Amino acid sequence: MSSSRRFIPALVVLVLLAVLPQLPVPPFWITLLNNIGIASLVAIGLVLLTGVGGLTSFGQAAFCGFGAYTTAVLTTAYGFSPWMTLPLSLAVGALIALPLGLITVRLSGHFLPLGTLAWGIALYYLFGQIDLLGRHDGIAGIPPLSIGDYRFMSGSSIYYVIWTFVILTALAAQNLLDSRVGRAIRALRGGGQAPEAFGVNVARAKLTVFVLAGVTAALAGWLYAHMQRAINPTPFSISMGIEYLLMAVIGGAGYVWGAIFGASLVLVLKELLQRLLPDLIGTTANFEMIVFGALLVVILQFARDGLWPVVLRFFPSKSSHRIRGDAPALGKREAPSPGTPLIRVEKARKTFGGLVAVNDVSFEVKAGQIVGLIGPNGAGKSTTFDLITGMNSLSGGQILFEGKPLTGRSPRDIARQGVARTFQHPKILPGMSVLENVALGAHQRGTGGVLQSILRLERTEEAALMAEAMRQLERVGLAEFKDRPAGDLALGQVRILEIARALALDPVVLLLDEPAAGLRYGEKQELAALLKKLRGEGMSILLVEHDMSFVMGLVDHLVVLDFGTRIADGKPQEVRENPAVIAAYLGGTA
Amino acid sequence: MDFTIAAFLIQDGLTSGAIYALLGLALVLVFSVTRVIFIPQGEFVAYGAMTLSLLDSGKFPATATLLLVFGVLAFLLDLWDNRARLNAPVLLRNVGLNLVLPGVIYTLALVLAPMQAGPFVKALLTIVIIAPMGLYIYRIAYKPLADASVLVLLIVSVGVHLAMMGLGLVFFGAEGLRARPLSTGSFSLGFLPISAQSLWIYGSTIAIIVGLYLFFEKTLLGKALRATAVNRLGARLVGVRTQLTGVTAFVLAATVGAISGILIGPITTIYYDTGFIIGLKGFVAAIIGGLASFPITAIAAIGVGIVESFTSFYASAFKEIIVFSLIIPVLIWLSITVSVHEDE
Amino acid sequence: MSDRLLRVENLHVSYGKAEVLHGISLAMKPGSIVAVIGANGAGKTTMLNAIMGLIPSRGSIEYDGAPVPRSIEARVAAGLCLVPEKRELFSSMSVEDNIMLGGFLRSPSERAEIQADVYQRFPRLAERRKQLAGTLSGGERQMLALARALMSKPRLLLLDEPSLGLAPKIVIDILNIVAELRNTGVSILLVEQNARAALEIADEGYLVELGEVRKSGPAAELAVDPALMEGYLGRNA
């Protein structure tokens, strides 16, 4: 991932971090760095949750509280050793995050952050009311961390513990993002249910990242308890939750290292303001709020991606994904023999209220065929398409795939059967590389989980997924763009990228939704040539299209819809001369 | 349960519920028209209450200075935005709206503050000071982000909240303030004593609800706001400016906030940070109303007030926990009923 | 007054990095109907949106002899009005409110005057004044969209696919209404899939393909041009 221009500055920072406590630095700065480290942990969780996954949470401070109180109670009242409570603190964080996540991640957009705001406040008040947690006074006398006889009492000793955890967590987060699970989490930003269609379990990915953010916050809480050795509810309040979000936003919500940068910036600024402002204004109070508030507004107005990308601009890097030649091949589906019926639509019907959008439409796609479903705007093509892909449910009739009914199956399940699709309005992740976008299509062909990804135990499988993605890119002719952000591609290339992603599913049949819409003449010809090539390789394709000229020389069979009803079907040339079809397209005398 | 206590608690709940209803309605109004989840609504309440109590003690309200500051900021931003086409009408409008208006209000406050005018003059002055803040806040923080997502706007709201709360601290200090009631005295309804102030609260809440209803149903501007909420693109196509509806919604919200502050100032001590928590209770109601329904929000707000009043009697330590946990079953309900496809 | 109500020169529109209009030019006389036809994805809707100011574009748009005003509101005030493909009605508001809002930029007296006129033209809507717009049938919705547009007292109506999703009988009704509107002095830029019907009522026609004007000329000539057939049904393979 990193090239030498980033490697050297990173090394310098690392060495500096390592020697800093040995230099004659005032202890005050060490304390500040410790606080930055702890805040960074929470912010890294938020980067995963908010920046990458698109789920905003104001409640992360409460999770710190769970981590801190778990170890505080267990070490002071039950005599546990601090290291023993580490897994327990993390587990409590996860256990609380799980039900909260189950409730909250299903909520659409803005209800999620409001939900976190509400339970963030409720939990803070709760900490202050429970006798076991020492109510508002909290818990004192928490033992320090120790190894053998060495006790991490001083700020400069626990400093190493904290920053080791920070760096390990950042690396873990980075590893995770660069894996199959990570790609699924990154796909959440693509929005809506689209990732389901290429096999990502959206609800599960959201829950995963929510729990992970809870666990990193709990880790921060655990460290905090053993650094301070006394805790009370204040650091776990909603205003701290807001401050953590501020760090993530300022740093750059999509960047793991940006979290540390954001935490440093906020805490250093806070320190400076608390020192300088009273001299300027003459009173002592936490006026830094005003500055932070204004900063948040200004950053979102002028640098919505935060400041870390600005820093990175000084250290340009060219990342390139190496494809391992020895990567094992992924399992492949057996291809159906040409001519066997794959998709059978039997009297499919869809009504919206009183309106009949699809009126008893029947047709068939056989293996090795390209079938075109065409018709003027509003003819019911897209609705029919949605019925096949499971985005919409049938009101009547049935749809069979390889003889089995698809009725009631989810888009993800239909994708798993071997029905891959593209979108009329492409659903790509513009910031992700072309190669990774394609690899998302192969999501269901891998099994690597969160822990394996963090520990890099799934590298063989990952190499296989990447090699597969590369194969599909070569197949469609986009190999040269593999490391470019997908957002750099022209529309025609994006549509082909979507086809490559669909191919990465190892599908039996490809469903293309208006693949030629908006393409220029040359692009259309390239697309047609690609589809012909795929058919030659045995692929079966159903395409919904408006553009007659595009389908004419391409498809084996045409089905024409108008007002939800099939008005013609047959060979392209026959259909083209059918007066009903001409009337439907040109209007006038029917 | 003792019936007298219950009646007393219900009355108490109705009083705070009415305030939460006003806040909830303002939040729904702002959200439906501008997609801004307006966290700082509570700050308007605190500003209103503190302005009134400063006027009560014959002091000059610092909020008038703040208004001037906001105005100058808005003036500079407008100047910068229009730097390419700086002509007399544009400049005149800018000066009038952003400098003259707050200047006049500032002078008015200077003159009226030491005069110890009657409670209604003071209340009116408070509204006049706070209401234009809605305009400037919109201009400074939100107008440049008209195309941003709800989430970005929400985080901006948190920023505005922090800044406004901090400014409240600068201008009012950390001490709590309490205003004098609009009219003193009380009378009893059977065994239940009712203070004049709570009558003011009920009356004003009903009047505002009726007023908002008439505004939305009977005036063209009100309809334009509704139209914007229903269909943003459609509204632009008939010539309704996004900025016009945005400003209107924010000024209305600030006005409602100032009135809430005037109503609540005499019954609780208000600190610079009280607004946030009060505002969030309005949010609980607004969320129950799905950030869309005015009637459900109003009813939910009354419910929040009553739940709060009963818990503060029976389990006072757990008051806030219970009130904010009310949202959890609502969220569960929403997460079950809201279709998964609904994503924006 | 200029002899050209609208003159579009070399209009380019891009979405991100993809250019979808590659320099379209078009001109229309006051009081005329100009039909813009072409297959899906040709860029017709994009062109209307650019003329209305909904999306940024490069090139020049002159309206009534001067550069078109900057903001959408100023364009509406100057007499430009778009009826979009999806109608964009205020579905949870009454028919009456929808119509009234159409005249948002007009004075109350003007509004009352045009309103009476509009109800006369669309008696169906007068009957359904109190009904919510969302409960109307497809044809009625299109009428309401037209009625709302007329309330702004337009000089140039931009109609995007007025026949979309309507039954053939209603398509004829709607296009007849459009043809009548011209007689009241309103000019109309009509984007239509239903090419034959559109060219029948239009004075001039433009065939747009892939973001460029492929052919233009008097509507009657364009209607029998073989390029039209190709544009819709494809070249002979």
Please list, residue by residue across A274-303, b when 16 or more beta carbons sit within 10 angstroms of its beta carbon and e when fewer do.
Answer: eeebeeeeeeebbbbbbbbbbbbbebbbee
Say if CB B218 and CB B34 are below 8 A apart.
no
> Which tokens in the block code for residue B139?
């201009």
DSSP letter, residue A191? -
pLDDT tens digit sequence for A140-197? 999 999 888 888 888 889 999 999 999 999 999 999 999 999 999 999 887 667 888 8
User: Which residues in chain B are closer than 8 Å to A187, comparing Cβ atoms?
Assistant: none
Which residue spans of chain A are classified as CATH 3.40.50.300?
Answer: 341-418+507-586
Q: What residues does A545 pair with on adjacent strands? A: A374
> Which of B238, B240, B243 is the best mutation test for C, with the most CBs of C within 10 A?
B238
Q: What does the alpha-carbon distance between residue A356 and residue A350 come to, in Å, rounded to a whole number?
A: 6
pLDDT tens digit sequence for C8-57? 999 999 887 678 899 999 999 999 999 998 877 778 999 999 999 999 99
Separation in Å, CA of C172 to nearest CA in chain A: 9
User: Which residues in chain A are closer than 8 Å to C164, comparing Cβ atoms?
Assistant: 377-378
User: Three-state SS for C33?
Assistant: strand
Contact status of B162 with chain A (Cβ, < 8 Å): yes
Q: How many residues does the structure list for chain C? A: 237
User: Which residues in chain B are closer than 8 Å to C97, comparing Cβ atoms?
Assistant: 223, 226-227
Separation in Å, CA of C31 to nearest CA in chain B: 22
Q: β-strands A150-151, A139-140: how paired?
A: unpaired
User: Which residues in chain B are closer than 8 Å to A288, comparing Cβ atoms?
Assistant: 166
Question: Which pLDDT value is given to residue A2?
Answer: 44
User: Which residues in chain A are closer than 8 Å to C41, comparing Cβ atoms?
Assistant: 514, 516-519, 546-547
CA distances from C58 to A518, C17, C23, C37, C176 (A): 19, 14, 9, 22, 34
Contact status of B30 with chain A (Cβ, < 8 Å): no
User: Which residues in chain B are closer than 8 Å to A291, comparing Cβ atoms?
Assistant: 166
- What is the three-state SS of A70-117? HHHHHHHHCCCCHHHHHHHHHHHHHHHHHHHHHHHCCCCCCHHHHHHH
Please, what is the end-to-end C-alpha distance for chain B in angstroms? 48
Say if CB C139 and CB C173 are below 8 A apart.
yes
User: Three-state SS for A346?
Assistant: strand
Separation in Å, CA of A8 to nearest CA in chain C: 34
> CA gyration radius for chain C?
17
User: Which residues in chain A are closer than 8 Å to C137, comparing Cβ atoms?
Assistant: none
> CA gyration radius for chain B?
20
Contact status of B221 with chain C (Cβ, < 8 Å): no
Contact status of C55 with chain B (Cβ, < 8 Å): no
Please list, residue by residue across B193-207, b when 16 or more beta carbons sit within 10 angstroms of its beta carbon and e when fewer do.
Answer: eebebbebbeebbee
Contact status of A587 with chain C (Cβ, < 8 Å): yes
- Show the DSSP H helices in A229-255 as ranges: 238-251
Q: Which of B234, B236, B239 sits opposite C90 (nearest CB)?
A: B234
Q: In the CATH hierarchy, which fold is given to the domain comprising B3-337?
A: ABC transporter involved in vitamin B12 uptake, BtuC (1.10.3470)
Whether the model pTM is above 0.95: no
Domain ranges across chain B: 3-337
Q: Which residue of B has its CA nearest to C134?
A: B230
Sole residue written with tokens 């005398």? A589
Q: In the CATH hierarchy, which fold is given to the domain comprising A341-418+507-586?
A: Rossmann fold (3.40.50)
Question: Which pLDDT value is given to residue A326?
Answer: 82
Q: What does the alpha-carbon distance between residue A449 and residue C49 come to, in Å, rounded to a whole number?
A: 47
Q: β-strands C6-15, C58-63: how paired?
A: antiparallel
Question: Which pLDDT value is given to residue B193?
Answer: 76
Other beta carbons within 10 Å of B40: 29
Low-confidence ranges of chain C (pLDDT < 50): 1, 236-237
pLDDT of chain B, 344 residues: tens digit per residue = 678 888 889 988 999 999 999 999 999 999 999 999 999 999 999 999 999 999 998 899 989 999 999 999 999 999 998 888 778 888 999 999 999 999 999 999 999 988 888 889 999 999 999 999 999 999 999 998 888 888 889 989 999 999 999 999 888 888 888 888 877 777 777 777 788 888 889 999 999 999 999 999 999 999 999 999 999 999 999 999 989 999 999 999 999 999 999 999 988 899 988 999 899 899 999 988 888 889 999 999 999 999 999 998 888 888 888 888 888 788 778 777 765 443 33
| Chain-chain contact of C93 with B230 (C-beta, under 8 angstroms) | yes
Yes or no: domain A4-312 corresponds to CATH 1.10.3470: yes
Other beta carbons within 10 Å of B299: 17
Amino acid at A102: L
| Chain-chain contact of A547 with C210 (C-beta, under 8 angstroms) | no
> Which of A488, A519, A560, A586 is the best mutation test for C, with the most CBs of C within 10 A?
A586
Chain C neighbours among A 346-405 (CB < 8 Å)? 376-378
| Chain-chain contact of A590 with C168 (C-beta, under 8 angstroms) | yes
| Chain-chain contact of A548 with C233 (C-beta, under 8 angstroms) | yes
Say if CB B21 and CB B302 are below 8 A apart.
yes
DSSP letter, residue B270? B
Q: What does the alpha-carbon distance between residue B267 and residue C27 come to, in Å, rounded to a whole number?
A: 68
Other beta carbons within 10 Å of C158: 24
CB neighbour list of residue B2: distance below 8 Å, 6 or more residues apart: none
Of A336, A348, A509, residue with least CA distance to A421: A509
Separation in Å, CA of A490 to nearest CA in chain C: 5
Say if CB A505 and CB A444 are below 8 A apart.
yes
pLDDT tens digit sequence for B225-250? 999 999 999 999 999 998 999 999 99
Say if CB B52 and CB B122 are below 8 A apart.
yes
Q: Which of C17, C40, C237 sits opposite A552 (nearest CB)?
A: C237
Contact status of C60 with chain B (Cβ, < 8 Å): no
Question: Which pLDDT value is given to residue B33?
Answer: 93
Query: Inter-axis angle of helices A60-77 and A238-251, to 10 degrees?
Result: 120
User: ipTM value of the model?
Assistant: 0.92
User: Which residues in chain C are closer than 8 Å to B220, comparing Cβ atoms?
Assistant: 100-101, 104
